[in-house]
Amino acid sequence: MQVAERSIMLQSRADRIFLHIMSDLHIGSAQCDEEEIVRCLKAGGGKEHHYYIFCGDIIDCIGHKDKRFHPSKLHRAFVGIDDILGSEIEYAAELLKKHLEPGQILGLLDGNHERKSLEYCSFHPVRRIVEMINGYTTGIPQAQYLGYHCLYRLMIRRNKSKGAASFVIHAHHGWGGGGRTAGGSITKYDRHAMQYSADIHCYGHSHDPGLKPIVQDVSIMRTRLEIDIRNSWLICCPAFQKTLSQPGETEPWAETMGFPLRPMGGIVMEIDVDWEMGKAKAVMPSPE
């Protein structure tokens, strides 16, 4: 498990923080929905206090010796290239750098697809993407490599104010086979999430979007005899990999296995700061 921290300085009480969570982009797969990826990157790209975290399976990472490899599963941009993994890494890093400002990316997790590359070739694709994103920039908060499972703390401060509020992100790529019941993965992740003290719990892998508020902790208030209920959010991230092929294309694995069609995209949460209590919590952003 990895830990990381980022310090965020706001100018005033009116400043708002947005957290964009994206998972399972599967860049390199013929079914990768790049249009949707770009839409989500543009939604917060270049905007102040919009931060991004990527929860694994960023690249599809299936080489020709992998038993899952099939020429029809490769995105057309990678056909005829022998360095498939290297090209996917470069493509992913360039895409993120093109749409996001340096400092906007909090970090990137491994998924089971990238971990296969570690297993087969002792090669860490996400570490390489992180190096390419950070490049030689100095004086700007760097994107972190977050392993498969992490706790990431945001320390939020306000100009000319002494106090700080903390906000903790718990992220895990996820595990297990896919379910055909919509929302079915929420139960297994719910049980796992309860072991970790965080304001938000993010899981990928299942390609089964779901969002659920959970009671994290019930305690007595420190300053008075009242009950303090701490809520957090469980987020099962949607993916960016299509289930259904277009006419003429070979049906992807998910389609042949009867997986349901699911909405794709990212999740955006707003972080609301309670300066008096020194706490921050996630709320669903209101439509603008």
Q: State in angstroms the smallest separation of the CB of 50 from Fe ion.
A: 25
Contact 249, 72 (CB under 8 A): yes
Site string for Fe ion, 6-45 (x = CB under 5 A): ----------------------------------------
Residues 191-210 that bind Fe ion (CB under 5 A): 205
Site string for Fe ion, 128-167 (x = CB under 5 A): ----------------------------------------
| Distance separating alpha carbons of residues 63 and 125, to the nearest angstrom | 12
Residues 84-113 that bind Fe ion (CB under 5 A): 111-112
Site string for Fe ion, 165-184 (x = CB under 5 A): --------------------
Task: Tell me whether residue 107 or residue 111 sits nearer to Fe ion (CB atom).
Answer: 111
Task: Tell me whether residue 202 or residue 273 sits nearer to Fe ion (CB atom).
Answer: 202
Q: Does 245 bind Fe ion (CB under 5 A)?
A: no
Task: Tell me whether residue 206 or residue 216 sits nearer to Fe ion (CB atom).
Answer: 206
The partner residues of 280 in beta bridges, in order of sequence, read 273
Task: Tell me whether residue 88 or residue 199 sits nearer to Fe ion (CB atom).
Answer: 88
Site string for Fe ion, 45-74 (x = CB under 5 A): ------------x-----------------
Residue with the closest Cβ to Fe ion? 205
Q: State in angstroms the smallest separation of the CB of 100 from Fe ion.
A: 22
Task: Tell me whether residue 158 or residue 173 sits nearer to Fe ion (CB atom).
Answer: 173
Task: Tell me whether residue 165 or residue 254 sits nearer to Fe ion (CB atom).
Answer: 254
| Per-residue exposure over 130-150, b if at least 16 CB sit within 10 Å of its own CB, e if not | bebbbeeeeeebbbbbbbbbb
Binding site for Fe ion (CB under 5 A): 57, 111-112, 205
